[in-house]
Amino acid sequence: MDQLPAASLAPDSPQGYANHLAGLIYTQTMEIIEGKATNVALLYLMILLIPIYGVYGVYQYRKSYIDLPYVGIRPGLFGSWKAGYYYLHNSADVVWEGYQKYAREGRAFVISTPKRWLVFLTDPDQIAELAMVADSKVGFYEALNMKNKHNRVAEPSLGDYINTYHVDVIKSQLTPRMASILPEIRQEGNVAWKDTLKLGPGWTKVGIWEVVIQVVSRSANRCFVGLPLCRNQELLDVFRAYAIRTNEVVYMVDLAPRMFQPLLEWVLLKRFRLPQRAMKILKPVFEERKRMREELGQERWDAEKPNDSITWIIDAAMKKDAHQQTNEQMSWRLIWLNFAAIHTTSMSTLHILYDLAANPEYIDPLREEIIATMDQHGGYTKEALNNMLKLDSCLRESQRWNCVVSIVISKLTMSDYTFKSGKVPLHLPKGTFVTAPATATHLSEEIYGPDAHIWKGFRFSEMREKMTNPEESSKLQAAATSKEYLAFSHGKHACTGRFFAIYQLKMLLIYCLLRFDIRLPLDRNGKRPDNRYILGRRSAEINGSLEFRERKEWNELKTRWGEFDEEED
Ligand code: HEM
């Protein structure tokens, strides 16, 4: 085998050592390629490569350091690793510490996470600017792909600006059709509650997460894939497993050295072939729908097409290139809608149920509002749901307290970027990760007043009831985002499904509150389960329980508006 000439240099100078090392690596690599490597040679190569990789990693990490006040462990010898490890276990505390120190002056601060420095903005004007700035300057999908590897663990076109048409499908098709979609989501939710929650006489203790995720997946998928597929348990399980596993895996993989990432992705995610299993179920449905589209012709198709995401995705894909029109590509959009919609809405449902069970004094006023508003509007119309200010307020308060995504608008500077707004000038070099601390902002006393740390279900409805300007009042709706209310993020990449999510949450809660009494198990002493922190991310306790009891009043209520359609069509 040819030797690198440099390897024969005596290692008596830094350059000599570098050449010597390069020669050794070359020799060992060639032996592996030529199949001559022994286990010892492989071990030797690993021993050589790992420290080099480590030193290179630390060099890269240090090079990207940003000159801003930092919070958490000080960078020193191994500081970045220690700090990163600390962040994994204490992310909420570290971010809160930084926010408390620097938010008053409106200064940004920086935290060391295992893989990169993260700049946190505290000035709401700078947060608004970040939310609105062009992606060509501070990129959204670039950050997502680098951190969460969506383009790699899923499908590359889910992480670009050209083919993410499913995002637009929600904005341009789903949201405008909300009034016609609501009855179906409501019906599916009600049937799913009935099918999933099996109660004995008196109070029954229920592992609530499983119930919630089932009710949310079924009712959302009534709109995404329609009947009967929204009750296909295998499909729902695959959608759910894919979302949960992908969410966990991308965080784990991000912690690993880059060269091991593809292997880890395969071991932890890809080998389960979850998308392929969903595609197998979805393929005949797409085929059938495309055939129907062709047979009907444009005019009849427009008049008669089923009102669900399968139709909207086909219509959108037909304006794209041939690759986007394949069943696989279109199935990816449904997998991704489930990814965005199910876990988030289920978490929010879990939080509000825990919040109401821990604050039971809110339940009767909510029931009174629901009944009075439905009496006034003749049932669960879109207008009735819009007019339930107390229910809306509890949802907004629950998300203020426990937003599902605790840091939002995570972006990456594509070139040096100087903020135009803010009390303190801020310049970020190219390649900086910058984000907004949603949870910390929501707990700010400067913004939400001295009771920011108290769960006040009617905080927003009390404010809205005093307002005379409907436009001002609508800014405090649960689905409205602002630079100070970030549960659905804000700006260009705010959640496009938030209107759908809030209507869905309201309908699930209405059924639950009118039909059941709920309470925390007595041994919780009125305290809701604490949140969990996994790899720096926050989640409601999914192993928690609630107790449910059938209400006597249900017998009268279920026929009062003639539409608690619990039975299948
Ligand atoms: C309560 C439930 C939900 C919460 C809390 C939530 C929260 C969020 C947040 C925080 C983001 C921005 C992510 C970021 O900044 O990195 C987001 C984006 C998104 N959400 Fe939601 N979401 C919810 C429900 C839904 C539903 C039901 C859908 C679909 C119908 C949906 C579709 C999306 C999409 C497509 C995006 C990406 C927007 C883009 O790429 O520009 N979400 N969501």
Convert 384-417 into a string of H (helix), E (strand) and C (coil). HHHCCHHHHHHHHHHHHHCCCCCEEEEEEECCCE
Instruction: Decide if pLDDT at 39 tops 80.
Output: no
Comparing 34-48, 117-131, 430-444, the range with the smallest average pLDDT is 34-48
Task: Give which of 170, 174, 160 is closest to 323, Cα–Cα.
Answer: 160
209, 350 Cβ separation under 8 angstroms? yes
Protein residue with least CA distance to atom 7, ligand 1: 488
Residue 7: predicted pLDDT: 34
Q: Please give the Cα distance from 385 to 502 (Å, whole number).
A: 10
Does the Cβ of 212 fall within 6 Å of ligand 1?
no
Q: What is the mean pLDDT of residues 220-241?
A: 95
Mean of pLDDT over the chain:
87
Distances (CA, A) of 424 to 12, 216, 427: 51, 43, 10
| φ and ψ at residue 487, rounded to 5 degrees | -60, -30
Residue 272: predicted pLDDT: 87
Instruction: Identify the burial level of 84 via C-beta atoms within 10 angstroms of its C-beta, where 0-12 means exposed, 13-18 middle and 19 or more buried.
Output: buried
Residue 266: predicted pLDDT: 86
What 3-state DSSP class applies to 452?
coil
Residue 4: predicted pLDDT: 35
Q: What is the mean pLDDT of residues 124-140?
A: 97
Residue 32: predicted pLDDT: 61
Best of 118, 130, 498 to mutate for ligand 1, by most ligand atoms within 8 A of CB?
A: 498
User: 145-177 pLDDT, tens per residue?
Assistant: 887 777 777 777 777 787 788 888 999 999 999
User: 534-554 pLDDT, tens per residue?
Assistant: 766 788 999 999 999 999 999
Q: Please give the Cα distance from 355 to 520 (Å, whole number).
A: 10
Residue 70: predicted pLDDT: 87
Q: Tokens at residue 455, please?
A: 């769960």
User: 433-484 pLDDT, tens per residue?
Assistant: 999 999 999 999 999 999 999 999 999 999 999 999 999 999 999 999 999 9
Q: Identity (one letter) of the amino acid at 222? A: R
Percentage of the chain beyond pLDDT 70 is 86
Helices (H), 406-549: 438-442, 445-448, 459-466, 470-474, 498-515
The answer, yes or no, to whether ipTM is higher than 0.95 is yes
Does the Cβ of 98 fall within 6 Å of ligand 1?
no
Protein residue with least CA distance to atom 27, ligand 1: 341
Task: Using DSSP bridges, classify how beta strands 433-437 and 407-413 pair: parallel, antiparallel or unpaired.
Answer: antiparallel
**Banded model confidence at residue 569, pLDDT cuts 50, 70, 90:** very low
Cis ω on the peptide bond leading into residue 183 (within 30° of 0)? no
Instruction: Decide if pLDDT at 329 tops 50.
Output: yes
Q: What is the mean pLDDT of residues 305-330?
A: 92
Residue 8: predicted pLDDT: 34
Instruction: Decide if pLDDT at 292 tops 50.
Output: yes
Which residues are bridge partners to 428 per DSSP? 417
Residue 42: predicted pLDDT: 65
**Cβ neighbours of residue 488 under 8 Å, at least 6 residues apart?**
399, 479, 481, 494, 495, 498, 501
207, 240 Cβ separation under 8 angstroms? no
Q: Tokens at residue 252, please?
A: 């784990």
Distances (CA, A) of 81 to 251, 261, 434: 16, 18, 20
DSSP, res 3: P
Q: What is the mean pLDDT of residues 7-30?
A: 56
Ligand 1 atom at minimum distance from 409 CA:
15
CA of 249 to the centre of ligand 1 (A): 19
Instruction: Decide if pLDDT at 30 tops 80.
Output: no
Residue located via tokens 């596993």: 245
280, 233 Cβ separation under 8 angstroms? no
Instruction: Decide if pLDDT at 568 tops 60.
Output: no
Query: Is residue 230 a known part of a binding site?
Result: no
Q: Please give the Cα distance from 367 to 362 (Å, whole number).
A: 9
Instruction: Decide if pLDDT at 248 tops 90.
Output: no
Instruction: Decide if pLDDT at 507 tops 50.
Output: yes
Ligand 1 atom at minimum distance from 501 CA:
27
Best of 495, 496, 502 to mutate for ligand 1, by most ligand atoms within 8 A of CB?
A: 495
What 3-state DSSP class applies to 534?
strand
Does the Cβ of 320 fall within 6 Å of ligand 1?
no
247, 269 Cβ separation under 8 angstroms? no
CA of 80 to the centre of ligand 1 (A): 31
User: 91-119 pLDDT, tens per residue?
Assistant: 888 999 999 999 999 999 998 877 788 99
Q: Please give the Cα distance from 513 to 363 (Å, whole number).
A: 7
Task: Give which of 462, 337, 482 is closest to 400, Cα–Cα.
Answer: 482
Comparing 72-76, 327-331, 339-343, 521-525, the range with the smallest average pLDDT is 72-76
Residue 565: predicted pLDDT: 59
Task: Give which of 418, 255, 242 is closest to 341, Cα–Cα.
Answer: 242
192, 233 Cβ separation under 8 angstroms? no
Q: Please give the Cα distance from 234 to 293 (Å, whole number).
A: 27
User: 198-215 pLDDT, tens per residue?
Assistant: 998 999 999 999 999 999
